[in-house]
Structure formats: C-alpha cells, structure tokens
Amino acid sequence: MNRNFITLVAALLFASVHLADAQQPGKIFRIGFLDNSTAVDSRFRLEAFWQELRKLGWIEGKNITIEYRFAEGKNDRLPELAVELVRLKVDLIVVTAIPAALAAKSATATTPIVMTSVADPVGAGLVASLARPGGNLTGLSGLAFQLNTKRLEILKDVVPKLAVVGLLLLPSPTMVRDLEMKEFRAAAAALKLKLEELETQLDAKDLESAFRTAKQRQVKAIMTSANPRFLGERKRIVGLAGKHSLPAIYFQKEFVDEGGLMSYGTDYEDMFRKAAHYVDNILKGAKPADLPVQQATKFEFIVNLKSAKQIGLTMPVRVLERANQVIR
C-alpha cells in the first residue's frame, strides 16, 4: 500500500478519536472505494469526504470502515477490483470517474453505488436519467466534458487571434473518449477554432513528440482531454507547455499547483463532501433509485500569473476578474 496513503489514513484515524461518536453502538458498515487514479492524487478529496462523514456521525473503526482500491491509471484493473469489493460483501461502493462506475455496475446489480464526480452518467448508460436514476447507482455528475466548452472560451479570451488549439488525447478510442470528443468538436466549431487532435502515450518520448507536432501544426494554445490518467503526468505536461511557450488550460487545479497556466473545472472537494451525504442517506435506509443525481454547482477558475510571465503572455484584466484564485 502507498506510504503516503497510509499516512493519510493514520491522520484521519487520529483526528476521528477526538470527535464525538454520534452513532449508537451496533453494526460497523463496510464500504468500498474504487478509484481510477492513485491514493496520492485522491488524498485531498478523501480528506473532504471523511470530514463530511464525521460531521454526519460516521467514525472510522466505530460504525464504518472503508476498503480502498486504486487502479493507479490502469483502467483494465477496475473490473477485477470491483469484483473483489463485491466479494467482500461491502454495504456500498463509492466510485469516481466513468470507468470505475461502469466496472462497479458490471460487478453488482444489488450493492448500492455512489458516484462522486462522473462526467456524463446518462450518456455512459449508468443511469436512466438524472431525476430518476433507477437501479442501484446514484450520486454526482461532475460535468467534466461539458466544461470543455468553457475552457476553449477562456483560451480564446486569453490568446489574441487564437485560431488553432491542440488537444492531447490518449490513443485507443473508448465510449468515454467518444462522449468527450462529441462535446469538444461541437464547441470548437461554435467558437470557430480548429482543433488539432494529438494522440499520445504517457511516456516522456511520446509527450515530447506531441508537443513538437503541435508547434509544427501552428497550434497557439493547448489542452488535454479530461482523462484522469493525464493527472499522473501533470508535471511533465506543464513543463512541456512552458518549454514550447504554449498557453494551456487544464481540467483540474493540480496542474496549476505544478506551475500550469490555468485550470477551470469542478470543485471536486465539494463533490466528495456531497457524496458523503449520499452515503449517509443510503446507509440509513434510502434506496439509490429514489435519490436523483446532482450536477456540479461549484467551479474553480485558477490563473497563475507567474507562468504567464514565463511565456511572455499578458493576461487580460477581464479574465483575471473572473478567476476564483490568481497566483502572483
């Protein structure tokens, strides 16, 4: 198990003993947590999740326990991990992105499943509708794909006379990628932008090659798809964008933490806090089919002026006025 994750869990356990136990002694509920990424990448969201659970009276080791399973960017591991959680007879499974949700849904039709931030649960076939999800799955929709339109708009506002945007994509099209690309292409057309689709693996050589190709194709700004696997290579991607003087906007604030220019996306910590309420309701007897899926309502736009200066970009005042956070 990842040492950082062990440290996180230990800290949460230490903090929990100082809180009053609002639940009566009795059954210790066991829930599973299935995530595409790593324990390190999920740590802040998990902290928000646990903080909210504790407010609701759930204390690790006293009335609830969690089995964590991280695919570490290898989506092909998700079905096996989901089946493993079902075999453990967990009372509920918490999932993050679409691949984890699909794996859990395939593994069980009876165990309740709570989504923390799935981009398009209806389009992915996970729920019948947001208002009436049906089945054993409910939770939160993060709108990651729909926000690509907003990201392109921001790039157009930031880069004078922007005409060509590069989009980093992972190869091997999937249903998830098809859903996202439908949004991307429609948004680019509406904004009169040419979208250069740059397929790349996540190794250093391929990423460097993708950025060289972007420059050859007259790309003047760059993005990645909202695939969580890009998160693990954020430092390298941010470095290459700076090296090639390409303004970039990312789907999560962690890229800006590594020196990226901008990010616009869902406030995932808020989503995880709301997911804790779904867990609370279901463990107290509510049925997933009766709990409507909520869409994200809080978004974060972060701008790094240090990075703008490094690539010789002047950030328009009107853009800075819209930012939730400006790093100077």
| Length of the chain in terms of residues written | 328
> Does residue 119 contact residue 143 with C-beta atoms inside 8 Å?
yes
Q: Tell me 49's DSSP state.
A: H
179 and 311 assigned to the same domain: yes
Is residue 229 classed as helix, strand or coil in its secondary structure?
Answer: helix
Which residues does 258 contact at the CB level (< 8 Å), separation at least 6? 234, 235, 238
> Does residue 82 contact residue 34 with C-beta atoms inside 8 Å?
yes
Tokens standing for residue 271: 């989503």
How far is Cα 305 from Cα 250, in angstroms, rounded to an integer?
15
Buried b or exposed e, range 220-241, using 16+ CB within 10 angstroms: bbbbbbbbbbbbbbbebbbbbb
168 and 257 assigned to the same domain: yes
pLDDT band of residue 25 (cuts 50, 70, 90) is: low
Tokens standing for residue 62: 């006293």
85 and 10 assigned to the same domain: yes
How far is Cα 202 from Cα 245, in angstroms, rounded to an integer?
20
Q: Is pLDDT above 90 for 209?
A: yes
284 and 249 assigned to the same domain: no
14 and 30 assigned to the same domain: yes
> Does residue 324 contact residue 318 with C-beta atoms inside 8 Å?
no
How far is Cα 60 from Cα 25, in angstroms, rounded to an integer?
13
Tokens standing for residue 170: 């992972």
Q: What is the pLDDT of residue 17?
A: 38
Average predicted confidence (pLDDT) for the chain: 90
Query: Side chain identity at 209, as an amino acid letter?
Result: S
In sign, the C-alpha dihedral spanning 194, 231, 147, 132 is: positive
How far is Cα 225 from Cα 223, in angstroms, rounded to an integer?
7
154 and 244 assigned to the same domain: yes
CATH number for the domain harbouring residue 258: 3.40.50.2300
How far is Cα 12 from Cα 28, in angstroms, rounded to an integer?
17
87 and 18 assigned to the same domain: yes
The more confident residue out of 29 and 12 is 29
Domain boundaries, position 224 = 147-265+300-327
Kindly compute the dihedral angle of the four CA atoms of residues 88, 92, 96, 101, in this order, to the nearest 10 degrees. Answer: 80
187 and 250 assigned to the same domain: yes
Please count the other Cβ atoms lying within 10 Å of the Cβ belonging to residue 5.
17
How far is Cα 36 from Cα 71, in angstroms, rounded to an integer?
5
CA distances from 155 to 95, 164, 204 (A): 31, 11, 25
101 and 126 assigned to the same domain: yes
In tens, the pLDDT along 80-138 reads: 999 999 999 999 999 998 999 999 999 999 999 999 999 889 988 999 999 999 999 99
In tens, the pLDDT along 245-285 reads: 999 999 999 999 999 999 999 999 999 999 999 999 999 99
> Does residue 207 contact residue 233 with C-beta atoms inside 8 Å?
yes
The vertex-122 CA angle with 119 and 128, nearest 5°, equals: 145
Tokens standing for residue 24: 């009566």
Q: How many domains does the chain fold into?
A: 2
In tens, the pLDDT along 32-91 reads: 999 988 898 888 899 999 999 999 999 999 999 999 999 998 889 999 999 999 999 999
